[in-house]
Amino acid sequence: MTSPVTTPPDHGGVAPRRGRLTVYLGAAPGVGKTFAMLDEAERRRGRGTDVVVGLVETHGRSGTAAKVGDLEVVPRRDVTYRGTTLTELDVDAVVARAPQVALVDELAHTNAPGSRHAKRWQDVHDLLDAGIDVVTTVNVQHLASLTDDVEAITGVRQRETVPDQVVRDADQIQLVDLSPQQLRRRLAHGNVYRPEQVDASLRQYFREGNLTALRELALLWLADRVDDALTRYRADHGIGGTWPARERVVVAVTGGPESETLLRRGARIAQRAAGSELLAVHVLPTDGLPSAPPAAIAAQRALVEALDGTFHTVVGEDVPSAVADFAHGVNATMIVVGLSRHSRWRQALLGSSGSEIARLSGSTDVHLVAHAEARAGVRLPSRLSPLSPARRLAGWLAVPVVPALLTGLFVVLGRQAVSLTTELMLFLAGVVAVALVGGLWPAVAAAVVSFLCLNWFFTPPTGRLTVADPENLLALVVFVLVAAAVASVVDLAARRTVQAYRARAEASTLAALSRSVLSGEDTAQAIVQRLALTFGLDDVRLEARADERAAWTAVAHAGRAAVGPHTAETTEVRVDDTHRLVLVGRALPASDRQAVEAFGSQAAIVLEHHRLREQAAAARELEHAEATRTALLAAVSHDLRTPLTAIRTAVDGLASPDVELDDEDTRALTTTIQESTRRLERLIDNLLDLSRLQTGSVRPVHRPTSVEEVVLVAVEPWLDRLELDVPEDLPLVETDGGLLERVVANLVSNAVRHSPGGARVRVAASSTPDDVEVRVVDTGPGVPDDRKETMFQPFQRLDDTGSGLGLGLAVADGLARAVGATVTAEDTPGGGLTMVVSAPVVAAQQTPQTGPVR
């Protein structure tokens, strides 16, 4: 029974404000949520607020019922379900009453079928939308995100849940807290459950350990919500300083080997206080190029996750500023930084990241951690030129040539034609040209040679390496410095260009590799082929082993080198404990090794994808086998029992001394035994054939076969129900006669079984230039078009009786495929089903076999 929908009160054309939601949160039943809600109702009513009880669950507790007192109660709505009358919150009645505040108990309650909403919290949203403030209650075990945790603690799966966001969005959340000892005493006194339920409850759900864990869950969940509110408040009021409401430890990781030490130290610090958080931050340069090997970053990310922390990547031009800004943004209470790896003299000149972070951190504590890499010095990256050897050679050749050409030009023109300033500018242009061709060091050398030429030939006094005018000396020194600076900038730009091109190429290659993973290609082979092509290697192998003591074997291989012992020019990249990449060819520089490590990480994903896909395929096969076994066990009892029961009954009748049988009765019982035996034989043959087909053990012997002889043997048990039209001059077919006979026999048996009222089944054969067709035509109920696709699957009964195995068509189709024939279904004109068996004729007539092969 559903109450009529009531029109909400008119608000003068102005949409009502949304109501405010207050939630009383408890750790377990009986802590006093409903009492607290009713206390608030009394306080509000005392202040003149219009309060009604929408729904309060007393659970038979006299104290709760008395607490309702003289509060106005809105009648509940009756809902009839399966002959039982249930009562639910009447949302329309509450909206029509239009109070200022409505009390609605048990927010996670599931409404009875037939209600407007499935959940009570959806009813509460309707009241809020109508501008009514709602006060409600909920236990922590009903929060959706904690369902698994509560089940692990109590062993009870909660069926009624409420989305966390519904409670988080409440305007106010009040925690109703009670110690486990007090709650158990309240339960023992009969204030929570009926006396007959107390002992079982104290031994099971209300154990002290369970209640303590649930209480901690409630406190931690509410602390998270309070923390969210604090973050919003700080953002709304522009508060940038740290408020240490919760311990948050930020660890600055560089990708170096010391980062693991920092992460473990940070995790130990975070574990000292319950509810603490561990956050790792890695700063990328603004150019987007990686500052650490991708494999190292991936390993440190995995370590952070294993330590129950979170890994964050930020982009910043200045690392200390980026780390400090991140720490302030997350309201961190401590920053963990490693001691600098730079030498003391460099720290004295340039400072260290740790000291700069400490200066910028403000009120946030900074914890400096010593490690094995501290002050060991940073290995400077090699300054190998990104330019080709030909360009570097051209640059060195230009070192003497360019200054010589410029010197000769200015000597020919004479001192009066060109000033020293012009000469300096043109020599500087020459140095830049050398930098563009050969890079940094040829340009520096060209700057030095140009300085000597300018000093010797064009700076008074000429012919000597002395300078009379201090301004000219200053100009020459500035020339050398500017030339070196310009050459350095040009060389850096060239390096960045090459790095950007390499990063783009690597990203493109990895993206293509990822697409191949998703598209289901042979990705193991794709990895090695792309590696060999990308890095110009002679040979690339992806190797695997069963365990650490087993030998490596090649899983995929690409290149020209033979698989065998490793040569001197071999690079090994370990993917995991059981897989590695082996690269044979040129020695790879460090930059290429980083890219190969990224390929290795991708290889791990590929191999895991393959493993999961194989497991899924195996699971599907097991599921299919289990379904087949279940269907077989469910149906075999009927199809075996029917002929066995008939045989047993006939034999008992023949053997009984108390029954006198005449000749006709004896023949009838004998016929029953014969027919049931044949039926049982066909069933067993079908089961064996299906088993052979599913295991792939059918081995047909193809030879020229007479279709007429096959059909005559196949239809022998049903000759009195058939019309035969099989010409004697049909061409021979290339097939296995014995298996083809089983195909025809199953089709005829199926047709006879489904023909109504003893109607005869027609079996006809005809030939085409390529095939011989055998048609089995019945006038039974036929098969709908939508079932013709599934009728050849095992355990499909066309009469939908649900009994029997339904193996005939499945066996016929499987055997036909095995012998090179096909079975198709057509509609019989006027009603019924026609099964068509097509077998290919032999290429040239040969001597036929004398009969079907059994």
Asked if residues 105 and 55 have their Cβ atoms less than 8 Å apart, the reply is: yes
pLDDT more than 70, % of the chain? 75
**pLDDT of amino acid 20:** 92
Query: Cis bond leading into 461, ω under 30°?
Result: yes
Among 620, 546, 547, 531, smallest CA distance to 584 is for 531
Residue 359 DSSP SS3? helix
**pLDDT of amino acid 848:** 46
pLDDT band at 307; cut points 50, 70, 90: confident
Q: Rounded to an integer, what distance in angstroms lies between the CA atom of residue 707 and that of residue 714?
A: 10
pLDDT band at 840; cut points 50, 70, 90: very high
Asked if residues 437 and 416 have their Cβ atoms less than 8 Å apart, the reply is: no
State pLDDT tens for residues 804-817: 334 557 777 777 88
Q: Which residue has the tokens 């963990």?
A: 336
Asked if residues 378 and 341 have their Cβ atoms less than 8 Å apart, the reply is: yes
Higher-scoring residue by pLDDT: 82, 708: 708
One-letter identity of residue 395: G
State pLDDT tens for residues 226-237: 666 666 666 665
Q: Name all contacts of 267-273 with Cβ < 8 Å and 24+ positions apart.
A: 267/307, 267/308, 267/309, 269/334, 269/336, 269/367, 270/309, 272/247, 273/247
> Mean of the per-residue pLDDT values for the chain?
77
Which strands, in side-by-side order, build the sheet including 822-827? 722-725, 761-767, 771-777, 833-840, 822-827
pLDDT at residue 118 tops 70:
yes
Tokens read off for 572: 């090994």
State pLDDT tens for residues 496-537: 777 677 677 667 766 766 666 566 555 667 777 777 777 777
Among 784, 792, 695, smallest CA distance to 746 is for 792
Average pLDDT over residues 582-604: 68
State pLDDT tens for residues 673-726: 888 887 777 667 766 665 665 556 667 788 899 999 999 988 888 888 899 999
pLDDT at residue 733 tops 80:
yes
State pLDDT tens for residues 247-260: 788 998 887 778 88
**pLDDT of amino acid 5:** 39
Tokens read off for 241: 């300083």
pLDDT at residue 564 tops 50:
no
The region, left, alpha or beta by phi > 0 then psi within -120 to 50, assigned to residue 27 is alpha
Asked if residues 594 and 602 have their Cβ atoms less than 8 Å apart, the reply is: no
Among 706, 713, 705, smallest CA distance to 741 is for 713
Asked if residues 248 and 279 have their Cβ atoms less than 8 Å apart, the reply is: yes
List, in order, residues 6 or more apart from 575 with CB less than 8 Å away.
542, 581, 600, 601, 603, 604, 607
pLDDT at residue 792 tops 80:
no
Q: Rounded to an integer, what distance in angstroms lies between the CA atom of residue 469 and that of residue 459?
A: 9
**pLDDT of amino acid 50:** 92
One-letter identity of residue 587: A
Average pLDDT over residues 793-803: 49
Q: Rounded to an integer, what distance in angstroms lies between the CA atom of residue 212 and that of residue 177?
A: 11
Least confident of 205-219, 320-334, 378-392, 671-685: 378-392
**pLDDT of amino acid 797:** 52
Q: Rounded to an integer, what distance in angstroms lies between the CA atom of residue 89 and that of residue 217?
A: 29
